[in-house]
Structure 1
């Protein structure tokens, strides 16, 4: 796989992770880049992602979301605040991946944000359909979605090495 394809797949895939869980994709890239610094990110607008404190904040936010998502009062992800948040973190994640790979961060952001929007709706409809057709409790399908998002994110960022 060439570097262009690899960058695209990581930006799109981690954008999709952001569509599943708003803070998981930033937590994954911050964890990675705080331990494997990129000279291309250093000193840029996304340079803060390479710090341990940022990594910790994103991890706490992601953990809170993983728990809160299963609560009955959790807001619908396709409503404006949730959708906007997922797209923003998808843009951030895609831009960071592209910047680290010496590519156009704007293009990476567009790819990540688009993937986040698509995954937000796709996973919402998949999960609600599964809940209706299988009578599985929401927390079970939510936990399965968590496992998918974590596995996908870890696999994509580890391909960065």
Structure 2
């Protein structure tokens, strides 16, 4: 189950890169994810979750700006994979195999990035504009992230 969650949090990172580590930080802070003594222990520190949450909120706002580049260009794509890997590794630590969580999180991020871009494009065409599609994607990413936190 934990490995499925590592993949799913990667999908969240593919949709909204900073939402995945924010969710992981909240899971660690609330006690659902035990990272004490690991190289990711900082994710459970007092201020980590609020800081990641502010960064995630900034990303959600920035995503709606017309000057924001596509998620599939190398810097944005790389950031999503890195955040998926980090978040997946945190889940993998709980199962004793952080590296497997890292790989699954990164793989989920690739799937979320490419699938999310395709789905948002289709939704934008259906709506006739991008904003409703972007807001729908935000809602889906937030709900999935909350479900992951709940399951941890």
Structure 2-normalised TM-score?
Answer: 0.95
Residue 37 of structure 1 and its aligned partner are, at CA, apart by 6.5
Q: Is the aligned partner of 1:76 residue 2:70? A: yes
Match of 2:147 among 127, 130, 155: 155
Counterparts of 1:134 and 1:44 in 2: how far apart (Å)? Answer: 45
Residue 155 and residue 38 in structure 1: after superposition, are their counterparts in 2 closer, same or farther (change >3 A)?
Answer: closer
CA distance in 1, matches of 2:41, 2:102: 15
1:30 to 2:33 alignment:
no
Matched, 1:47 2:51: no
CA contact (8 A) 2:27 2:33 kept: no
Distance across 1 between alignment mates of 2:99 and 2:92? 8
| Matching residue of 1:106 | 99
Question: Residue 52 of structure 1: SS of its match in structure 2?
Answer: coil
Structure 2 gaps of 5+ residues are: none
Contact 2:26 2:149 in 1 (8 A): no
CA RMSD of superposed structures (Å): 1.3
Residue number among 106, 116, 120 corresponding to 1:123 in the alignment: 116
Conserved in 2, the CA contact under 8 Å of 1:46 and 1:96?
Answer: yes
Asked whether the 8 Å contact 1:37–1:50 carries over to 2, the reply is: no
Q: TM (normalized to structure 1)?
A: 0.90
Judge conservation of contact 1:10–1:157 (CA < 8 Å) in 2. Answer: no
Aligned length: 152
Residue 53 (structure 2) pairs with residue 59 (structure 1): yes
Structure 1 stretches of 4+ moved >2 Å: none
Partner of residue 3, structure 1: none
